[in-house]
Amino acid sequence: MFFDLHRHLEGTLRVATTRALAVRDGHRLAAVDDLDDLLVARGPLGGLVPFLAKVDAAPAAFSRLEDWQRAGRECVEDAAAEGLDYLEIRFAPWFIRQETGLAPEGVIDAVADGVRAASAETGVRTALIGILLRDLGPECGLDQVDTLLSRRDLFCAVDLAGNEGGVPAADFAPAFARARDAGLHVTVHAGEGAGPESVWAAVRHLGAERIGHGVRAAEDPALLEHLAARGITLEVALTSNLHTSVAPSYAAHPVRRLLAAGVPVALCTDDPRASATTLPAEFEAAREAGLTDADLAAVRVNAREAAFG
């Protein structure tokens, strides 16, 4: 059973599709010599921000709503080819608006259409997570969440992503309170581009039930105890952590210590195109990180139990 709880639509957009759409439109990306190099990390990039630049370079080519329907469809088709049983797909409608000028509500509907159709065809179960982007600033947090709530039934949860070193999570507390009041689950990117204090903020101020990455929680024993006691699952993406230089190698990744502390861990891909990975490849990488067969079996159970959909 393969369950991926953390995969960004923007980080799944295929290089070939990005190129085809850019050529169709005469978009500037069509003139890039090595599109692969622009959109895919091949090694450590030294930080979260340069990695996000690779994830975020593709959406500008998806200039029509029908392109976002295709994006949703191809994302699920790729998941089926990997052998996934269940996939939570997250995306940031306001970021897509910024890159394309498209109405975020239309983008949500188009993505949901494509995902629904491909899910029915392939049998991969899917759920959608709406992302609020830190980088757009806290003053539009409520507006971002209202866009998601205009399509409330399409989403299982809300997330906070983007540059963790920028706007603090606490500034988004009103937006997350509104999302929780509407019955959405909460996951938050934290403990990736910043330290344990960022994970504490996600739990205390935003009501996070799961944490995207969270790996720097390993630096704070009291936080590990808190996460274990509350059953707060960490969505760990090993290859992404190498590319963002959060961990220097699989072998030196703290995932084993997280599990040993009793913290539920689910293995995830984050951005399969930008990291050139798949969920089965992440399970292989986990062996290099020192996880045993028993650990991997526990990780699969954790993912099933922490699924929002």
Which residues carry out catalysis?
A: 192
Structure tokens at 62: 């998806």
* Smaller CB separation from ligand HPA, 147 or 240: 240
The distance of closest approach from Cβ of residue 23 to ligand HPA in the complex, given in angstroms and rounded to an integer, is 25
141 binds ligand HPA (CB under 6 A): no
CA-based nearest residue to 13, from 31, 28, 29, 33: 29
The distance of closest approach from Cβ of residue 198 to ligand HPA in the complex, given in angstroms and rounded to an integer, is 11
CA-based nearest residue to 144, from 208, 97, 200: 97
189 binds ligand HPA (CB under 6 A): yes
8 A C-beta contact, residue 9 and residue 127: no
* Smaller CB separation from ligand HPA, 48 or 84: 48
162 binds ligand HPA (CB under 6 A): yes
| Pairwise CA distance, residues 184 & 202, whole Å | 15
8 binds ligand HPA (CB under 6 A): yes
Among 2, 5, 9, 11, binds ligand HPA (CB under 6 A): 11
Residues 8, 10, 12, CA angle at the centre, nearest 5°? 75
- Which residues does 153 contact at the CB level (< 8 Å), separation at least 6? none
Q: Which among ligand HPA, Zn ion, none contacts residue 55 (Cβ within 5 to 8 A by kind)? A: ligand HPA
CA 53 to mean position of chain CA atoms: 14
161 binds ligand HPA (CB under 6 A): yes
Among 164, 270, 282, 295, binds Zn ion (CB under 5 A): 270
The residue ranges that bind ligand HPA (CB under 6 A) are: 8, 11, 48, 52, 55, 161-162, 189, 192, 240, 270-271
- Residues engaged in binding Zn ion (CB under 5 A): 212, 270
